[in-house]
C-alpha cells in the first residue's frame, strides 16, 4: 500500500506470519521475529490487532469500534488508515486486496 492509498482499497489486513503478540493488561506487545524488535499498541490498537488476527473485514472492524466507543466514523477511519500504514510499513501486517 503506498502513501496515497486508503484502507478502503483493501478488504482486510492480516498479521505477518513472523509476528507474535500478547496481551499486556489491555494493551498489546508485538514482536517481529525477523528483526527482534518489539512494538506496543495502546488499548484501541490492541482491539484492532485482535480483529486483524481474527481476519475481520475492515468494514466490520470499523463498525465494531465505532459501536463500542464514542468516536466519529470519519475520525476513526483516518486514525485506522494511519495505523495500518504504519504497521504495514514496518512489516507487521499484510494486505489482502479486494477482488475487482
Please give the C-alpha separations between residue 97 and each of 6, 14, 60, 83, in angstroms, as whole numbers: 12, 11, 16, 18
pLDDT for the residue numbered 96: 78
State the pTM of this model: 0.85
Domain ranges for the chain: 14-91
Model pLDDT, residue 47: 95
Summarised one tens digit per residue, pLDDT across range 4-43 is: 456 655 668 999 999 999 999 999 999 999 999 999 999 9
Q: What is the pLDDT of residue 58?
A: 86
Grid cell locating 60: 466490520
Amino acid at each position: 500500500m503506498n502513501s496515497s492509498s486508503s484502507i478502503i482499497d483493501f478488504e482486510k489486513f492480516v498479521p505477518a506470519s513472523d509476528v507474535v503478540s500478547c496481551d499486556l493488561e489491555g494493551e498489546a506487545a508485538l514482536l517481529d521475529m525477523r528483526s527482534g524488535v518489539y512494538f506496543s499498541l495502546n488499548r484501541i490498537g490492541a482491539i484492532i490487532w485482535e480483529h486483524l488476527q481474527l481476519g475481520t473485514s475492515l468494514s466490520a472492524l470499523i463498525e465494531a469500534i465505532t459501536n463500542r466507543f464514542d468516536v466519529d466514523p470519519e475520525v476513526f477511519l483516518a486514525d485506522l488508515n494511519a495505523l495500518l500504514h504504519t504497521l504495514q510499513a514496518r512489516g507487521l501486517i499484510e494486505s489482502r486486496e479486494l477482488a475487482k
